[in-house]
Structure 1
Amino acid sequence: MSRSLRLPGLTRALTAATAAALSLSLTACGGGSGGSDGGGKADPAAVQAALDKPAEITFWSWVPNIDKTIALFEKKYPKIKINLVNAGQSKDQYTKLTTALKAGKGAPDVAQIEYYALPQFAVSKSLVNLADYGAAGLKDKFAESAWTQVNVAGGIYGIPQDTGPMAMLYRKDILDRFGATPPATWEEYGTLAKKIHDADPNTFISFVDPGDAGATNSLIWQRGGKPYTVNGTTDVAINLKNDAGSKAYADTWGPLIENKLVESTVSWNDEWWKSMAAGRYATWLAGAWAPAVLEQFIPQSKGQWTVAPMPGGVSSENGGSSVAVTTQAKNKEASVAFAQWLNSDPEAVKSLNSEVGLFPATKLLLDNPGFRSAEVPFFPNSKPNEVFSDMSKAVRPGWQYLPFQPYANSVFKDSVGQALQPGGNLPGALATWEERLNGFGKEQGFTVK
């Protein structure tokens, strides 16, 4: 995710009712075990050969400027026509996609799907298992954290497009004012939070957004949490109450919130951007898409921000998307070939970064000295690409999303979100969230433990 391709705050508009309707339940879509889309295996050679045959592919994506990369594909493979359709951003597209999949018609051949939403479409057998088309051979091209997120229920259901490894963006001018350096541990983070707010009650080390489930999931992941476990397509375990990483998250952020050392506020609105520009927050813990977003929304803060590793030196993903092929694809071989080229061909991935603004998922750029050391004018005298690339390698392994994560995120504000303010009980709220997700999962036909 980059250049506000999916602003995290916008997903809060997804109501529980909408998310439930969007959910592709096992009973509605004929779930069960197994990793195939039911179409049988294809010869990988046929995928490559499809590039030289006439075909027309419909691709749903909301990514601005991705038409520039598609133009390169059509120039290289003139027999294939790509019909790019913006069917809405994130949840809006997913709602339309779900409707088409349930109806059995109207879905695109290829669709952009964020990592957190991919399992929902994969376990309902709405997507082609790309392993049947030789996609496993692409594994070594991608960052481990990206590749593991497209592996669902024993299959490969997307090609990674971009990633959002989490790092700590900070206002150098604020830290300089307090004679501080970027905190290297969470203990140092808490100490600096108190120092800043004691000296200036109008300045906080950061903020918490009661509606941003994605940030909380990323922070739990960063602390080593594994609250969601999915086995096959039907068995789910949810452990937000006793998971070690969830406890570490609550132990860190609970006191910060209770002592008003971080501010509880809705983000991604005009008031929040004004606060960001005015220096109300010393740090922003966010994915690799954040630098471009800062430049877009508060260009006047150029030169004030820089980037450091996450406290503790380990990271998690905070955003990112894949490109998947739906089971309604009319020409599966050509659709797979396009998805693979778009996200793994050297010319394509360079275009996605330089012309489209996506932070890469491929090692081709993440390990490239020129990319890592590139000067970014908004961040003078620093190397943000290097920090984010290092954080990509430091992403903790083993994280899984639920096969109904969009619903889980939609009800976050009613439980955990209520505790992200002074007087809240964060451990209790995590337990309440878990209970609600357990009930919903059972209603959708999953075996929940």
Structure 2
Amino acid sequence: MATQHRRFSRATRFGALAIAGLAAVALSGCGADATGGGDSSFGFTQAEQEADSPITVWVDATREPIIDAFEAAHPDVQLNVETYDGNASGSASLQTRIALFDQAGEGWPDVVFSTQNNDASWASKETNGVQAFAAPVNKGWFDQEFLDGFTPGSLDPLTIDGTVYGLRNDLAQVVFWYDQTLFDQLGYTVPTTWEEYEALSDKVAAENPGYILGSVGDGFLGSYVYYWGAQAPIFQLDGNEFSSDFEAENSQKMTDLLDHMVENGTMSTNSVFGSDFIQEAQGKVLGMPGPVWFTGAIFQNPDSLNVPAGQLGASTPLHWEGEDIGTGNVGGGTWLASSHSKNLDAVKTFMEFATSSDEYQVDLAPGYPAYASAGEKWIAQQASGGYFVGDFEKNVIDAAGQVWGGWGFPSFSAETAYSKVVLPALAAGSTIGDVASDWQQEILNEAQVQGYTVAR
């Protein structure tokens, strides 16, 4: 029968999402040009295909501009769009909803954006006899030439035993942001190692108290910027075995460094998104390690630090003396395609556009694209306005390929344990070293709850 399809309203409540997801199945069941299901040539058993059916796409609010860009470029592909929290901060909202659809045997969205790069750990697994939600993309469905276009290493978090279960949207490699004007005024040199960074903090504390060199006031900063960037083995996964070692040399050195800088006053314990940090740090951030997206979210944001043009630069990621650079990564989203989709051609078209098109990734994307050619164009566009100083473009591009591969991607977030244990301790005046063992135990507890074999 003929069905008039239209875009759903962009609901923000998950109750609406669940209903909308089930409704999408009902709608798509009326499509035409159906082809037989059961084909497993792409590494999963395909549903019966309906070439004219719309696809349901879930995005967070930040990714909404991609919808208009895609519809302008592909008016022949019909979308049902829902806005949700993007699985932010390890909320597990996506996993919870997919589990409900698995139980119902219907209702799955065709494409989902998630802010979490560890979703492949659960989305690649069969659940109670129901095929895994995430469809493999490197088993013949997507062209290998297209997949090879991603920045080396960027698909690693989505790769399990050689199978890739999604596409990275953007990267969030960490660099060292510095205010060249302040460095010149105060007579300091931009650090390149963690040792130089700590030594600089002592000089600043003694000679220019009040200036800031970083923050540990957010779960993502403590975990991903500092410990990941220090190549500290506190969050590692080998098959189904999870380990967390806070006594390893790099782990202990980073704990000591952070506690030292908090004590001398150069390391803030306030959230970079809070008013307390803005009041404390306005005009006082000499430099700080942070992800690429700090540009718009923190430094250029008129409601945050609002650093004037011609002052801000991005230096090479900090690393230990004598060791290779191995920087952290703070987010960068992921696109997952449903193995239950009834219009795989449309899903492929959307996924390729979402991750690699100039119309979105170069012209509209808020973060550094994971697709290499788009990433280079995006960063060139950021550099063209004259806002940044130094080797900004080169250092950001280089850092995209320097993310340390030793960090694990289990089915839970590193942020939650830090937020639960470390942040309250810092607020109470304790050090990270005081609660390191409690932090480690909380991480291991979460791993056990998720079914991993735990090894310290």
Instruction: Report the TM-score when normalising by structure 2.
Output: 0.76
User: C-alpha displacement at 1:147, in angstroms?
Assistant: 1.7
Q: CA RMSD in A?
A: 3.2
User: Which amino acid in the other structure matches residue 42 of structure 1?
Assistant: S
Q: How far is 1:340 from its partner? A: 2.7
Match of 2:348 in 1: 336
Query: How far 1:121 sits from its partner (Å)?
Result: 3.4
- Please give the secondary structure, in 2, of the residue aligned with 1:195: helix
The equivalent residue for 1:394 is 402
Q: Which residue does 1:260 correspond to in 2?
A: 265
Match of 1:103 among 92, 100, 105: 100
Q: 1:370 offset after TM fit, Å?
A: 8.2
Structure 2 residue 173 is the aligned partner of structure 1 residue 173: no
Bigger proportion of residues as helix: 1
Structure 2: which amino acid aligns with 1:103? L
How many residue pairs match? The answer is 396
Corresponding position of 1:307: 314
Instruction: Tell me if structure 2 keeps the 8 A contact 1:41–1:133.
Output: no
Judge which range, 424-433 or 303-312, deviates more: 424-433
- Could you tell me how far 1:375 is from its partner in structure 2? 1.9
Matched, 1:376 2:364: no
Could you tell me which of 49, 54, 57 is aligned with 1:56? 54
Tell me how far apart the structure 2 counterparts of residues 295 and 203 of structure 1 sit (CA, whole Å). 19
Tell me, yes or no, if structure 1 residue 41 matches structure 2 residue 40: yes
Q: Structure 1's 299 and 244: CA in aligned 2 closer, same or farther, altered over 3 A?
A: closer
Return 5+ residue gaps in structure 1 as ranges.
1-38
Matches for 1:143-158 after TM superposition, within 5 Å? 143-158=151-166
Percent identity over paired residues: 18
User: Tell me, what secondary structure is at the counterpart of 2:332?
Assistant: strand
Whole-angstrom CA distance in 2 between matches of 1:266 and 1:430? 20
Aligned to 1:134: 141
Asked if 1 retains the 8 angstrom alpha-carbon contact of 2:178 and 2:288, the reply is yes
What's the CA shift for 1:94? 5.5
Distance 2:444 2:121 in 1: 16
Summarize the alignment of residues 186-335 of structure 1 with structure 2, pairs less than 5 Å apart: 186-209=194-217, 211-232=218-239, 235-276=240-281, 278-293=282-297, 294-296=299-301, 297-298=303-304, 300-303=306-309, 304-312=311-319, 313-335=325-347
| Paired amino acid for 2:291 | G
State yes or no: 1:404 paired with 2:412: yes
CA contact (8 A) 1:165 1:315 kept: yes
Relative CO higher for 1 or 2, CA cutoff 8 Å, sep ≥ 6?
Answer: 1
Shift of 1:151: 1.3
Q: Matched residue of 2:333: which SS?
A: strand
CA 1:372–1:400: 2 relative to 1, 3 Å: farther
Q: Distance in 2 between matches of 1:428 and 1:153?
A: 38
Q: Which amino acid aligns with 2:448?
A: K
Residue by residue over 1:359-378, the C-alpha shift from the partner in whole angstroms, topping out at 9 and shown as x without a partner, is 12122134569828832343
Asked if the contact 1:373–1:383 (Cα under 8 Å) also holds between the matched residues in 2, the reply is no
- Residue number among 422, 425, 433 corresponding to 1:416 in the alignment: 422
Matching residue of 1:161: 169
* Cα deviation, residue 323, structure 1: 0.6
How far does the alpha carbon of each residue in 1:278-332 deviate from its partner, in whole angstroms, 9 at most, with x for none? 2232112111111122223347421232222222354221220111013443334
**1:445 aligns to 2:441 (yes or no):** no
Question: For each residue in 1:202-255, what CA deviation from the matched residue of structure 2 results, as whole angstroms up to 9, or x when unmatched?
Answer: 22322221x4245423322222233333344xx132223234432232132222
What do residues 16-46 of structure 1 show as CA deviations (whole Å, max 9, x unaligned)?
xxxxxxxxxxxxxxxxxxxxxxx863359x9
Match of 2:84 among 84, 87, 94: 87
- Tell me by how many angstroms 1:66 deviates: 4.4
Deviation at 1:112, TM superposition (A): 0.7
**C-alpha separation in 1, matches of 2:444 and 2:318:** 32
In structure 1, distance between residues paired with 2:201 and 2:427: 16
For 2:9, the equivalent position in structure 1 comes to none
- Give 1:349 deviation, angstroms: 4.1
Going from structure 1 to structure 2, the CA distance change for 1:168 and 1:421 (only over 3 Å counts) comes to farther
C-alpha distance in 2 between matches for 1:388 and 1:338: 27
Structure 1 position 148, deviation (Å): 1.2
TM-score w.r.t. length of structure 1? 0.77
